[in-house]
Amino acid sequence: MPGVLTDAVAVPVRALAWLGRQGTRAVAALVLIGLALPPLGELLKPYVAEAIFLLLCISFMRVDIAALRDHLRRPAIVLAASLWDMIAVPALIGLFCLAAGLDKSSPDLFLALMLQAVASPMMAAPALAAVIGLDSTLTLITLVTGTALVPLTAPLFAWLFLGGALVLSPLALGLKLAFMLAGSLAVAFVIRWMFGIAAIRRHKEPIDGINIVILLVFVSAVMGSVASSFWADPLQVLGIALLSFAIFFALVGATMLVFRRLGSERALALGLLVSQRNMGLMVAAAGGTLPDLTWLYFALSQFPIYWSPQSLKPVVGRMRAGRDEDATESMATPSPKLPRR
């Protein structure tokens, strides 16, 4: 009997470990599953808030506290990056939308863009930065500070730009975000205390597999309506998809321009962080009660996020090749000889 129980536990763990090893391939497959199986999305849509909460628990559970302490030794850079991410970006996007008259011409799309703008960075952004080959240290601490600020900044910008367009009041939004973040942090702390960080690191692959399974709930929920929306109005879907890509790369480019003095690779890492907004957290905070067009934008905006590792990795390679070439040339160039007196 004990052997049977051991096998019953070992088989799912091995399956989760295999799934965790698939990495970005598994994430891309989730998008295809969500597109191909709309009924699955309808079935899982009511559980988006719970899925986001569990993803937050896993992300906080795996945070390296020692690394965070080391990164806090550069508070000026972290502060500047956090202010740009959580204050400047929402303000600029909100003002742009108002100037374009989007709040009047398409209020549901305006709601989607503002919820994207006020969201904190995705918890997976530092991991994606590492996959691309960028230093994830600065992105990690900026992610933590941005997540801590979002219960304060999101209600402020919701009140300034959205007003009555959001079903949830700004105060209720802030409280719900604070409770979600505090609750997930508490659960993560209990798990770390019970099992220890060494055990968590040792079981990295099965935990990655659990992450992917939970992510299936969110991806399926937001992708469920894409196929039917495309057949109903293909031009609208293509237009919104192009808009999501344009906003993604505009945020990457603007962030790289603002932080260019940090060096191209650091600036790109921050650009990746800023462009990947945790819209799932905002959906969960709003209780999933959002218009169909808002859900459609959220779904289509996942494509540039999941495509970014493949699209930006060659850019990092060219950056490093150019840097190595410059270093080689500087070493090969002889120093000028001083004239003899």
CATH code where residue 284 lies: 1.20.1530.20
The whole-model pTM stands at 0.74
Q: Given the structure tokens 């295809």, which residue do they identify? A: 32
pLDDT at 23: 65
Give residues with Cβ within 8 angstroms of 79, minimum separation 6. Answer: 145
Answer whether 251's CB lies under 8 Å from 274's CB.
Answer: yes
Report DSSP state, residue 333. Answer: S
pLDDT at 170: 62
Tokens of 246: 């344009």
pLDDT at 68: 67
Q: How many C-beta atoms lie closer than 10 Å to residue 294's C-beta?
A: 24
Taking CA atoms, 267 is separated from 48, 273, 278, in Å, by 32, 10, 20
Report the candidate in 279, 215, 225 with the shortest Cα–Cα distance to residue 247. Answer: 279
pLDDT at 248: 93
Report the candidate in 291, 226, 283 with the shortest Cα–Cα distance to residue 31. Answer: 226
Strands of 125-269 (E only): list them.
none
Query: Does the residue 24 lie in any domain?
Result: yes
Query: Does the residue 320 lie in any domain?
Result: no
Query: Does the residue 5 lie in any domain?
Result: no
Query: Does the residue 340 lie in any domain?
Result: no
Residues 316 and 229: their CA atoms lie apart, in Å, by 36
Number of domains present in the structure of the chain: 1
Answer whether 285's CB lies under 8 Å from 173's CB.
Answer: yes
pLDDT at 138: 76
pLDDT at 5: 42
Query: Does the residue 335 lie in any domain?
Result: no
pLDDT at 311: 72
Q: Given the structure tokens 């899925």, which residue do they identify? A: 51
Backbone angles phi, psi at 121, to 5 degrees: -65, 155
Query: Does the residue 276 lie in any domain?
Result: yes
How far does Cα 37 stand from its chain's mean position?
A: 24
Answer whether 61's CB lies under 8 Å from 124's CB.
Answer: no
Query: Does the residue 341 lie in any domain?
Result: no
Report the candidate in 129, 168, 137, 128 with the shortest Cα–Cα distance to residue 151. Answer: 168
Residues 105 and 30: their CA atoms lie apart, in Å, by 33
Q: Given the structure tokens 């293509």, which residue do they identify? A: 238
**H or E element, residue 142:** helix 137-157
The mean pLDDT values, 10 residues at a time, for the chain of 341 residues are 54 79 72 79 80 80 72 79 94 94 91 91 72 70 83 86 68 75 87 88 84 81 76 88 93 94 87 87 70 86 77 73 58 53 47
Give me the domain span that covers residue 97.
16-309
Query: Does the residue 169 lie in any domain?
Result: yes
Please list the residues that pair with 121 across neighbouring strands.
Answer: 277
